[in-house]
Structure 1
Amino acid sequence: MLPISSESINVCLLLGIALMSGFQHCDCIPVENAENNNDTDTARPEICIPQGKVRGVNMLTHNNRKIFGFMGIPFAKPPIGNLRFKAPLPPDPWDGILDGGRKYNICPYLDNGVLLGDEDCLYLNVFTPKLPINQNSTLLPVMMYTNGGGFKTSINDVLKYNPYLLLDKDVILVFPNARCGPLGFLSTGDEISPGNYGIKDALRALEWIRDNIKYFGGDPNRVTYFGGSSGANSVHYLLLSNSTKGLFHQYIVQSPSQSLYYGTVIPRSLSASRANKVGRYVGCPTNSSVILIECLRNRTVPELFDASSVITEWFLFPYIPWSPSIEPNIEGAILIEQPARLLAAGKFHDLPSMYSIVPNEGFTLTAGIDIRPKMLEEFLEDIDRIFPIVLQAGPLIESMTAYVNSLKSYYLNDLNADRRVLMDNLTLAIGDISFTYPAYKILETVATKKSDCYFASFEYRGVLSHSYYYTGGSLSDWGTVHGDEILYLFENRDHQFGPPSYKRSESDWEMANIMVQLWTSFAIDGRPSVKGLNSTVVWEPYSPVSQNYLRIGNNRSVEMEIKYRIHADRMKFLDELHAATVWK
């Protein structure tokens, strides 16, 4: 519940003459003590930013700390009409008071085949435990989160991504929406529609933070950008871009996928091919990029999402049909080379970082096969054709037959084995190739720089799990699966990860305390700390020599332990395989 009354108080901030230009059209009245106002249970806070006045809401964290939420703030112009398939532009100011407690649009996406959201969706949420009183108020570190979902979903819904756990610490949270699917990533492979709009939306949000977060009590010079899965990839893509210098100062990537190292950042020719397929499906001319994009701008959102089916080659694959793509080298481009090459050349911002993975990463991609035995049989019967589609690495590998044969020999050496064993090994193979090995290789490179990086394997299995979501409601225990660490950073309240009757256990809440402490201490000090926890573990920066990492949890236990050389044999095999592979 968000306690809101009809009364309001102007917590409009006068931060000195240097900031007055942002308030010229706001009739702001300063208050003597915004941080400790006794009426915060009933009075809604108002602040002024250069765009206009925003009225927030009062909220309570899990531990009943009073915080403020400002939701649905435009950080870019609506990407509609002629702005569809274009990089985001700064937002226009508004008149009156923007209601920061209202329902706002999420970006269009498919939820089990149902299209949700609205194209006018570039809004963000800001949550803060303190509002500044004057220009001498201490500004808090900022954390901006981008969610995962295979670049197919982008939901900053407060039911899923919220401040109830993290804001028991002194940080400010920002959750921006971003375009996804064809609206976020359709590209003609040229300057007409270069693509990567969903990532450029995140860049625009970081620019908004630079210009506005001080009004909410946040320090624009202490921004930690973090994300999970494809959201982790967005973090890393912007780490590789010159456009983001100074916009964030450290970062956290949770289960980054193969497109950071190889695979799903598709070449311009494939981008153009997919755009043309969609164009033909919806009846648009494809003889010219200009004509094609103009036509696609006049198609409805349902038509564009329905047309995405033409990209599917087998079952649900490629799992990421609308991938980030290589752009032409023009103004505003953020990916003009493959990430692996940029990383190898050292062309990335040297910033403090944290990386994390989980044991069962591959289940997010194989759950649909696991619960459909006929799909596994179909996969095995046509494995040489289907495996490359599932891996989504085909566009970059010359010797795909040799690559697949090596994988079969190592992970699936007996296709007549027990089907449960084969399914588990297939999940392991896809998890290693798609998540674990890319993280391992990126660490090897990042750790050679001056800034500290930290590596963790989250291995706690609690009451709730993403496996419940991936399988459509199965209560079987698949261990710690892709995305499970997020459940201990955000207090999910929409019952996607377990039946409504399921309640978090005492150890679940203890793990939430551990995760919040580790993640926020890094955001605050640049070093993850177990201070205040029942642990003596010391998490040192990652060393390529010792390959040290922190194991967070062990099945149902919340214990933490320093370990070394994660999955050493499998990583050695993949090192050898990749060294022997001919890449395009």
Structure 2
Amino acid sequence: MIGSEISFRPDFLLDRDVILVVPQYRLGPFGFLSMQNEIIPGNAGLLDSLEALKWVNKHISKFGGNKGQVTVFGHSAGACIANFLMLSPLTEGLLHGVIMNSGSASLALDDTPVKEARTVALKAGCLGDDLEVSLCMRNLTAEELLSAFVAYGKLGSFKGGLPVVSRPDEPADTKFLPDYPTDLAKKGAYVNVPILAGVTRHDSMWMVDLFHGVLSRLGVQDNETYIRENLIDHLITKFFRTKDPVGAINDLVERRYFSYVTPEKRGNFSEILAGVLDFASTLTMKAPALQMVKLNSKADNYLYTFDYKGRHHLPFNGINDPNGLFKEGVCHSDDMIYLTPRIEGSFNEEETAISNLMVDLWSNFIISGNPNEPKTLSMPHWPKYNSTEKLYYEINTVAKAKNDFTNEFTAAIQDGL
């Protein structure tokens, strides 16, 4: 889990009738390292967020707010946190709406926390059984623990710094996540509140760049045999941690995401780049968002794709990098530029219109649980998502309702990226 309040400015949202509270939570090994025992249980960062939510409910009236109208809003890792808060039994009555921009709980769960924690411990010189290792790590200074985490190679990344499913014997007042997110959602064992959730059109560009870096370090980025015969399996089982014992997922992925490539070009990474991007965006962002709104059928849900291809992108996506994989696209965080600006300079007329639309939609949802009201908009109505009509919203210079979000699963291929 990564991020901080300094990453996004509040300017635009504060022009509307909302009160914005931006709490911080512990990150990396300080917030999420877990030995799955009483000494290092994990989920400290989630419990930080819970305490912040309790504070808002207790004190927001002093700032003119309404504790019965609390919406949790997050982007990327923050969207994962927002989803976790919704899924926890400890937040009952504390929140009334959730906004998830490009992220969900299923993206950010560590399924091997003790293994990861022991690896970090080894870097810090903590050896022995689980009890000895836990006590040793508890006695490390913050600098020593962080150094070990960095040496482990996971800073700002995934395992060793992610939430975990709570232990069965964990005390009720700290048992934040009693089951896997998808299982909680399927059982309806969570806080049923309205959801506004969505993605950018090519959301996982940064992840494909990261994966390509892994291939480069392994020396296989130009190995045609590897790319043709092993790449998909590597993506599925190693990078995205999904089990595929008989190759069934591999076959489906090949047909859906790489059938557009001729056999003679199948071993060239640049030729299959659009398929890799679509597969990554679907598995990590688009399918989880769709699944969550489907399962949240007892409440109102609003699903979107942000398709506006503007002039601005955040640096980590690599679009403005002459050596980057992608030269254009609508990448991770592009939507946030128009909600919580992170760029220098001013918007042109078209960008200002996109920003005003997004701020109106988001602030409407925060106020009423419906992006269409109370402020009447000139753009087309954003319909609720339901399993019958399957309607979602495309945010662009001309916003419109569309049918069947799975069409977004091959956006990069459709665009010829």
Is TM more than 0.5 here?
yes
Name the CA shift for 1:177/1:304 in 2 (closer, same or farther; >3 Å). Answer: same
Quote the residue 2:415 is aligned against.
none
What SS does the aligned partner of 1:460 have? coil
The residue aligned with 2:52 is: 205
Distance 2:331 2:151 in 1: 30
8 Å Cα contact 1:368/1:471 also seen in 2: no
Match for residue 414 of structure 2? none
Residue pair 1:355, 1:454 contacting (<8 A) in 2 also: yes
Please state whether the residue corresponding to 1:355 is helix, strand or coil: strand
| Structure 2 Cα separation of the partners of residues 548 and 384 of structure 1 | 31
Once residues 373 and 507 of structure 1 are traced to their aligned partners in structure 2, the CA distance between those partners, rounded to angstroms, is 39
Q: Is there any run of 5+ residues in structure 1 with no aligned partner, and where?
A: 1-150, 496-501, 572-584
Is residue 286–residue 409 contact of structure 2 (8 Å, CA) maintained in 1? no
Partner of 2:270 in structure 1?
420
Shift of 1:189: 1.7
Moved more, 408-417 or 332-341: 408-417
Pairing partner for 1:524 from 347, 367, 372: 367
Report the counterpart of residue 156 of structure 1 in structure 2: 5
Q: Secondary structure, in 3 states, of the residue corresponding to 1:540?
A: coil
Q: Which amino acid aligns with 2:134?
A: I
Tell me what 1:481 maps to: 331
Deviations 1:102-137 (A, max 9, x none): xxxxxxxxxxxxxxxxxxxxxxxxxxxxxxxxxxxx
- Which structure: larger Rg? 1
CA 1:176/1:559 → structure 2, altered by over 3 Å: closer, same or farther?
same
TM-score by length of 2: 0.85
Could you tell me which residue of structure 2 aligns to residue 399 of structure 1? Answer: 245
- Contact 2:57–2:94 under 8 Å retained in 1: yes
Question: Contact (CA 8 Å) 1:279, 1:286: kept in 2 or not?
Answer: no
How many angstroms apart in 2 are the aligned matches of 1:292 and 1:423?
43
1:255 aligns with 102
- What is the TM-score of this pair, normalised by structure 1? 0.62
SS at match of 1:222: coil
CA–CA distance in structure 1, aligned partners of residues 246 and 70 of structure 2: 41
The correspondence for 2:283, drawn from 422, 433, 441, is 433
| Structure 2 CA distance for aligned equivalents of residues 453 and 298 of structure 1 | 46
After superposition, where does 1:30-109 map in structure 2 within 5 Å?
none
1:404–1:303 CA distance, 2 compared to 1 (3 A):
farther
Q: Provide the secondary structure at the position in 1 that maps to 2:283.
A: helix
Q: Counterpart of 1:272?
A: 114
Contact 2:195 2:301 in 1 (8 A): yes
The one-letter code of the counterpart of 1:453 is N
Note the 1:293-308 alignment, pairs <5 A: 293-308=134-149
Query: Out of 199, 209, 222, which is 1:377 matched to?
Result: 222
User: Counterpart of 1:323?
Assistant: 162
Partner of 1:101: none
Distance 1:399 1:570 in 2: 24
Report how far residue 511 of structure 1 moved. 1.0
Query: Are 1:410 and 2:251 matched, yes or no?
Result: no
Work out the CA distance in 2 between the residues paired with 1:550 and 1:232: 19
Partner of 1:458: 306
Structure 2 gaps, min length 5: 411-417
User: AA paired with 2:81?
Assistant: S
Query: 1:238/1:178 Cα in 2 relative to 1: closer, same or farther (>3 Å)?
Result: same
Report the Cα distance in structure 1 between the residues aligned to 2:182 and 2:86, rounded to whole angstroms: 13
Deviation at residue 417 of structure 1 after TM alignment: 4.9
Of the three residues 545, 552, 570, the one matched with 2:395 is: 552
- Structure 1 residues 301 and 383: CA distance shift in structure 2, 3 A: farther
CA distance in 2 between counterparts of 1:543 and 1:247 reads: 25
Mapping of residues 105-116 of structure 1, within 5 Å: none
Q: Distance in 2 between matches of 1:371 and 1:195?
A: 30
CA distances 1:164-195 after superposition (whole Å, capped 9, x unpaired): 10111111001111111111110002232221
Give the length in aligned residue pairs: 393
Contact 2:73–2:98 under 8 Å retained in 1: yes
Superimposed CA distance per residue, residues 468-503 of structure 1 (whole angstroms, 9 cap, x where no aligned partner)? 32328527643111221111111225x5xxxxxx64
Shift, 1:369, TM fit? 4.7
Residue type at the aligned position of 1:327: S
Shift of 1:301: 3.2
Shift of 1:410: 3.2
* Alignment CA distance shift 1:363-1:272 (3 Å): same
1:349 matches 2:198: no
Alpha-carbon displacement from aligned partner over 1:383-420 (angstroms, at most 9, x marks no partner):
366324554324xx362744334323432355635532
What secondary structure does 2:35 align onto?
A: coil
Q: State the match for 1:40 in structure 2.
A: none
CA distance in 1, matches of 2:400, 2:181: 32
Q: What are the Cα deviations for residues 418-467 of structure 1, in whole angstroms up to 9, with x where unaligned?
A: 53231221111111111111111222111x21x2111111111222113x
Determine if the alignment matches structure 1 residue 339 to structure 2 residue 181: yes
C-alpha distance in 2, partners of 1:274/1:365?
Answer: 21
Match of 1:366 among 158, 183, 208: 208
Return the letter of the residue paired with 1:504: F
CA distance in 2, matches of 1:163, 1:569: 30
Bigger relative contact order (CA 8 A; separation at least 6): 2
In the alignment, the residues of structure 2 paired with residue 373 and residue 387 of structure 1 have an alpha-carbon distance, to the nearest angstrom, of 11
Counterparts in 2 of 1:173 and 1:565: CA distance versus 1, 3 Å: same
Return the structure number with greater helix share: 2
Q: Tell me the SS of whatever aligns to 2:94.
A: coil
Q: Which one of the candidate residues 444, 449, 471 is aligned to 2:294?
A: 444
Q: Is the 8 A contact 1:190 1:327 kept in 2?
A: no
Structure 1 position 311, deviation (Å) = 5.2
Question: Within 2, Cα distance between the matches of 1:423 and 1:547?
Answer: 29
**1:514 Cα shift?**
0.6
SS where residue 361 of structure 1 aligns? coil
1:288 to 121, 127, 130: 130
Provide Cα deviations, 1:24-75, integer angstroms capped at 9, x if missing partner.
Answer: xxxxxxxxxxxxxxxxxxxxxxxxxxxxxxxxxxxxxxxxxxxxxxxxxxxx
* Residue number in structure 1 paired with 2:79: 232
**What is the DSSP-based 3-state SS (H/G/I as helix, E as strand, rest coil) of the residue aligned with 2:67?**
strand
2:347 paired with 1:504: yes
User: Given the superposition, is the C-alpha separation of residues 570 and 360 from structure 1 closer, same or farther in structure 2, using an over 3 Å criterion?
Assistant: closer
CA displacement 1:232-282 (0-9 Å, x = unmatched): 11111111111101111111111124x42xx65233xx2111111111111
Larger deviation, residues 183-192 vs 377-386? 377-386
Contact 2:108/2:158 (8 A) holds in 1: no
SS in 1 for 2:66: strand
| 1:503-560 Cα shifts (integer Å, max 9, x gaps) | 432211111111110011111122112745442x11121121111011110xxxx211
> Aligned partners of 1:409 and 1:563: how far apart in 2?
25
Q: Give how far 1:372 is off.
A: 9.0
